[in-house]
């Protein structure tokens, strides 16, 4: 079974937050643990990039380099800062050097020639004249060497091809969205060419998927992929089938889409689901909805999300070389936690615990104020969700669509003047990408009308203690917990119980925005 679903029940520790300082260091919210050799220092930089004023216009290589050097100057400053703090690896975002919204022709002056690191051993800083059109690679190599750290960055690259190659484009070259990895001595270690392009007409999809893994002396193996790749089996999931890959570097240019796919949501959910460290660097353009970076471990997250600040943010955190395993809890908590015992009774179909489909009437439990709630449909994430309102201070509601049934057992200390709903979707998502999802989601609606459920909101007051679960037909399930002010939360318990996948949470730090189990059925794409 995959690492996403191999535990029966998983107990998670509390989340720590890194407060990112513009152009500076993230302050870690938890004390460092002993045995420093078992940990390493990572950095990610969310970059407010200098963009071409007209990406559709044709320009010269010299003009393109002038723009890119402005971005590289900022990168160099961040490497210097990270080096002073002991960083051993730094990750920069997708599109951070050259920008975006180019055509195939207009991006050409921004492309570096990219030799294969697997066939050519090359240090661009020490051998700058070995290949033409490699000025960006040279600067990145020198940064890595000067900072004495591994460096991961994203740039556009070109590769000539011949008419004898059946895949060769008509202009005689491949153009790739490429991540490059440099070692601490400036050597080009490896590359990854993005496979799942997101409306990127300037770039080609590689004929074969790159499964890029590089080794480091301080943390072992790292996998590499980019942005939209995180939602697909290849290369993201396949890389993690190698049990030695415990870390992923992830440049991205992610446009946030609430309530389910904000950048920090999917980053955090991926790290928890696969039990790995994810070093995620997003571009920073709030006017385009682009923000949200972090260093995510299975048990902690150090993140930044800001729609207000115009500046870039450096996050630095110390993380474990071997990500802490999630602790199996089994049914033990049910013996001491009446709320969890009620959940287990529901799963067992105890007739004394569930008298009807909507309400819980357990002995010694307060009467639920939730009566036969109406189901309704509303658009969420461009998909037609089926939902049921979550009313009252406590209760059990469920809602089904196709083969997926989602359940919510909840208690609320107070009832806020807000509408919450439990939603389900089991089907093919077809807008801005095509992929099959199974989703159970408790969301705060945008207003008091049913038609506002699924709208993008970031503030909430509603406090919940809850179990959320469903009969998922996939083991690839990403837990998502987001509270007011774009704050990440960590589940108290997570895993499989009686063929149901569940998430348990008590003690939210602020009002609930979204609690979701986001399942992917890759084979149905």
Is-catalytic flag, 342? no
Structure tokens at 384: 């037609």
Of the candidates 194, 246, 342, 444, the residue annotated as catalytic is 194
465 as an active site residue: the answer is no
Show the tokens assigned to 20. 């990112």
Backbone φ, ψ for residue 309 (5° rounding): -75, 135
Q: Are 379 and 455 a contacting pair, CB within 8 Å?
A: no
Distance CA 322, CA 423 (A): 36
Q: Which helix (H) or strand (E) is 382 found in, with range?
A: none
Question: Residue 227 catalytic?
Answer: yes
Q: To 5 degrees, how large is the angle CA 404–CA 410–CA 416?
A: 115
CA atoms within 13 A on the CB side of 396: 26
Q: What phi and psi, each to the nearest 5 degrees, are found at residue 273?
A: -60, -40
Q: Which one from 15, 28, 46, 94 is the annotated catalytic residue? A: 94
The one catalytic residue in 227, 362, 406, 440 is: 227
- Kind of pairing between the strands at 188-193 and 213-216: unpaired
Whole-angstrom distance between the N-terminal and C-terminal Cα of the chain? 20
Beta bridge partners of 388: 422
Residue 196 and residue 232: Cα distance in Å, rounded?
Answer: 8
Q: How many residues does the chain have?
A: 525
Residues 6 or more apart from 259 whose CB is under 8 A from it?
Answer: 380, 381, 441, 443, 444, 454, 455, 456, 457, 482, 513, 514, 516
* Strand partners of residue 517: 440, 479
Positions marked catalytic: 94, 194, 227
């Amino acid at each position: 079974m995959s690492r996403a679903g191999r535990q029966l029940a998983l107990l998670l520790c509390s989340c720590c937050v890194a407060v990112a300082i513009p152009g500076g260091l993230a302050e870690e919210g938890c004390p460092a643990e002993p045995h420093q050799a078992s940990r390493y220092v990572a950095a990610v930089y969310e970059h407010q990039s200098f963009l071409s004023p007209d990406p559709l216009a044709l320009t010269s290589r010299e003009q393109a380099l002038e723009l890119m050097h402005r971005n590289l100057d900022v990168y160099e400053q961040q490497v210097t800062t990270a080096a002073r703090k002991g960083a051993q690896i730094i990750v920069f975002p997708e599109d951070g050097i050259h920008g975006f919204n180019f055509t195939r022709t207009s991006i050409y002056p921004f492309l570096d020639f990219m030799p294969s690191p697997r066939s050519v051993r090359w240090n661009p800083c020490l051998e700058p004249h070995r290949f033409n059109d490699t000025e960006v690679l040279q600067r990145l190599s020198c940064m890595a060497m000067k900072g004495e750290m591994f460096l991961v960055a994203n740039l556009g690259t070109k590769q000539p091809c011949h008419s004898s190659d059946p895949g060769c484009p008509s202009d005689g070259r491949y153009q790739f969205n490429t991540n490059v990895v440099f070692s601490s001595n400036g050597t080009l270690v490896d590359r990854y060419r993005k496979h799942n392009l997101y409306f990127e007409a300037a770039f080609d999809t590689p004929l074969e998927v790159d499964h890029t893994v590089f080794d480091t002396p301080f943390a072992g193996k790292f996998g590499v992929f980019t942005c939209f790749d995180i939602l697909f089996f290849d290369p993201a999931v396949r890389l993690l089938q190698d049990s030695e890959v415990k870390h992923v570097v992830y440049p991205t240019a992610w446009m946030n889409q609430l309530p389910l796919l904000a950048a920090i949501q999917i980053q955090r959910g991926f790290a928890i689901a696969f039990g790995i460290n994810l070093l995620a660097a997003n571009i920073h353009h709030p006017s385009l909805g682009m923000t949200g970076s972090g260093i995510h471990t299975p048990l902690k997250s150090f993140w930044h999300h800001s729609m207000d600040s115009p500046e870039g943010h450096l996050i630095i955190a110390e993380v474990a070389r071997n990500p802490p395993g999630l602790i199996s809890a089994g049914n033990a908590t049910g013996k001491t936690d009446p709320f969890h015992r009620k959940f287990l009774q529901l799963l067992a179909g105890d007739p004394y615990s569930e008298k009807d489909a909507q309400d819980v009437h357990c002995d010694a439990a307060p009467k639920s104020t939730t009566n036969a709630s109406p189901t309704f449909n509303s658009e969420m994430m461009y998909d037609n969700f089926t939902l049921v309102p979550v009313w009252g201070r406590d209760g059990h509601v469920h809602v089904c669509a196709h083969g997926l049934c989602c359940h919510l057992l909840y208690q609320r200390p107070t009832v806020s003047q807000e509408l919450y709903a439990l939603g389900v979707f089991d089907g093919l998502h077809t807008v801005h990408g095509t992929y099959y999802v199974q989703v159970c989601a408790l969301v705060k609606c945008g207003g008091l009308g049913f038609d506002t459920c699924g709208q993008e909101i970031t503030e909430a007051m509603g406090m919940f203690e809850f179990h959320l679960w469903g009969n998922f037909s996939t083991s690839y399930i990403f837990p998502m917990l987001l509270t007011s002010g774009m704050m990440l939360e960590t589940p108290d318990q997570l895993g499989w119980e009686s063929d149901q996948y569940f998430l348990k949470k008590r003690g939210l730090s602020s009002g609930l925005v979204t609690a979701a189990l986001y399942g992917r059925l890759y084979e149905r794409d």
